[in-house]
Amino acid sequence: MKKFKKLLPSVLVLVMVFAFTSETFACTGFYIGSNWSENGSTYYGRSEDYNEEQVKIFGVKPAMDWPSGSLFKISDGFTMANPPHTYRYTYCKDSPAEGNYLLDANGNPEGEYCAEIGINEKGVAMSATVSTYYNSNAEAADPLISDGLIEAALGSVILGSSATAREGIELVGKIIDEKGAGECNSLFISDPNEVWFMEIVSGHQWAAIKLPPDKVMVQPNLMLMNSIDLNDTENVIASKNIKSLPESKGFLATDENGNIDITKTYGKPYAGDGTTVRYWQGLNYMNPAKAASLDYKSIHSQNNPAPLLYEPDRKLSTMEALRLLAYRGEGSKHDTNAGTAPYAIGNGNQTECHVVEIRKGMPGPLATLQWQAMADAEWSIYLPYFSTLITEVNDKYNEPSLKYVDGSLLWVFKQINYLCYNHRKETGNDNYGVKIKEYFAKYQQSIIEQQKTVDNDMLAYYNSDPVLAQKKANEIGLKLSEQAYNMGRQVLMELNEYIKAGDDSKPFVPSGLTKNEMPDYSFESTKIEHITPATPIEKIEKDATNGNKDKGDANKVITHKDSSIADKDKDKNKKQTNVNTADDQSIIIWVGLILSATTLIYIKRRKA
């Protein structure tokens, strides 16, 4: 949950009354136990939602040795001593151009700010976080700490130092016990053997449970952990005072067996329609019959909490796992495209989406795949990485620019998403995007099917020579990502020509769909066809003044000058765009009686 500090202008007043900010966070996490997947894999993942302009960088942090006394620190104020050694891990972090990094003595950005997803060399994976909110009783008893542990630090802290999932949970818990938490958050930590789900519920209280193989879940900014048995130390880990604190303050809620109910005790009473409707959409995706009997507006942490875990009505495919984060309730009674839902799991504020797949019958270094999609899930491709092994990624993931630039894998898919979302919102039809979606689905399915052969080949390489396997993991990741970039760039060029022609009465059809151009995801050739950006993609002026509230505020245009998703009124580097959705999570700041000539007001902006 990212924090931003906004400095308001000086005010010459005798009394400043109420300052109010309404902010909405729409990250959605999910889990599919191995019993409910077609191939026996375990899946979990998350959409990282903030706004359409957020820029992410995917890369690999090398293993590091740290001198005694050195500190890990982030700009939000959290610091801790570095361990003597940290492991290699993948990350998907904020661009340094966002302005959130501390700089070292040489002026270089420190750390990996908001490294939201990654897998380390020990096979420990992490997805963090989905923002949650505590109630007034919990806040009064154990408020959040201004310089406590927050989302921005979790990726680096967990992946750098955890050799197992349980170690990761215990490490986070120890830090919160000692330094406190700056945010309420939920997160996943896994290794090849187990997956843990953790909820940070107040300044020093937290709980984690080992997720069972016979359940699924979708978690959209709600505290959802129900009753837990603190005596079950094999499957439950929690802070020492998770139960005694609320008991002493008179707000403990328990089940019939006397076990603490985390949600009823700590959760915000009502999280907002935009949150609860995403819970409904997730339930409907997994089990429509269960969703049919649920009124999403009735979900209330104290009076009617929703269950965290349940069973789906079928075994789910890899494609279904990957496409969950793009789901908008299509065809259901709460279909965001049809205007019958205030918000959606698959929304235009996604900055990146990821799915972790843990496969049975594979050695530890090959067991966990990181499926990584840049930009919004609806019009993007998840690329699989053997992240326990890889030491490098395509340079096209590393473009920090906050506006469109050719040669960026993120910006190609971000631009496609923007154009397709905007057209659908303006016109009520999907003629820009419907055939792109069809093409991308075929492309994605081709990758999924080829993964079986790649796994067999990787297993042979690994059994023969683990060093060779690492080399091959790097090679195949570079090859596939280059193909995906070239394909996406071609689609974007053709889409721009379609827009320039000015006739959208018939759907745009990518040539790759017509020609059935699919990826060559194999080890047969390590040759990579590079496209060197030369002439910029055709620039299309597209006034979005009346379009696509789903994609942020209405002042976005695509300009002739830079083909960027530009903000006419605001400084992108400071990221002060107010994400305007129906999810009415609110932060209210009351400021009273200002008698001095100047007043500094800091408002913490957060990212789910």
- CA geometry: angle 578, 581, 587, nearest 5 deg: 60
**CATH code of residue 197:** 3.60.60.10
Whose CA is closest to 581, among 329, 416, 349, 418? 349
Mean pLDDT of all residues in 243-254: 98
Count how many domains the chain has.
1
Whose CA is closest to 186, among 127, 260, 113, 125? 127
Single-letter residue type at 310: Y
Residue 598 above 50 pLDDT?
no
Whole-Å CA distances, 201 to 55, 166, 183, 221, 505: 29, 19, 8, 12, 51
The reported pTM is 0.87
CA 219 to chain CA centroid, nearest Å: 12
Q: Which domain holds residue 159?
A: 26-399
Question: Strand, coil or helix: what is 280?
Answer: helix
Structural domain includes residue 433: no
Q: How far apart are CA 357 and CA 568, in angstroms?
A: 41
Question: Strand, coil or helix: what is 360?
Answer: coil
Q: What is the pLDDT of residue 608?
A: 63
| First CA to last CA distance, the chain | 5
Structural domain includes residue 55: yes
Single-letter residue type at 393: V
Reported as half-sphere exposure (CB side, CA atoms, 13 A), residue 329 has a value of 26
Question: Strand, coil or helix: what is 196?
Answer: strand
Structural domain includes residue 312: yes
Q: What is the pLDDT of residue 527?
A: 56
Give per-residue pLDDT as tens, 17-33. Answer: 223 223 356 899 999 99
Enclosing H/E stretch for 45: strand 42-49
Whose CA is closest to 21, among 516, 551, 608, 586? 586
Structural domain includes residue 68: yes
Structural domain includes residue 602: no
- Which alpha helices (DSSP H) does 369-430 contain, by range? 409-427
Which residue(s) pair with 210 in the sheet? 196
Residue 592 above 80 pLDDT?
no
Mean pLDDT of all residues in 117-130: 98
- Residues with Cβ < 8 Å from 187, sequence gap 6 or more? 126, 127, 128, 129, 130, 154, 172, 197, 198, 200
Q: What is the pLDDT of residue 7?
A: 31
Structural domain includes residue 243: yes
Structural domain includes residue 109: yes
Whose CA is closest to 483, among 529, 441, 451? 529
Written as six digits, the tokens of 357 are: 């797949």
Give per-residue pLDDT as tens, 47-70. Answer: 999 888 899 999 999 999 999 999
Enclosing H/E stretch for 498: helix 466-501
Residue 443 above 50 pLDDT?
yes
Structural domain includes residue 580: no
Single-letter residue type at 41: S
Whose CA is closest to 127, among 206, 10, 46, 26? 46
Q: Is residue 316 very low, low, confident or very high in pLDDT (cuts 50, 70, 90)?
A: very high
Q: How far apart are CA 477 and CA 383, in angstroms?
A: 8
Q: What is the pLDDT of residue 564?
A: 32
**Could you tell me what percent of the chain has a pLDDT over 90?**
79
- Indicate the average pLDDT of the chain: 86
116 touches 139 (CB < 8 A): no
Mean pLDDT of all residues in 333-359: 96
255 touches 227 (CB < 8 A): yes
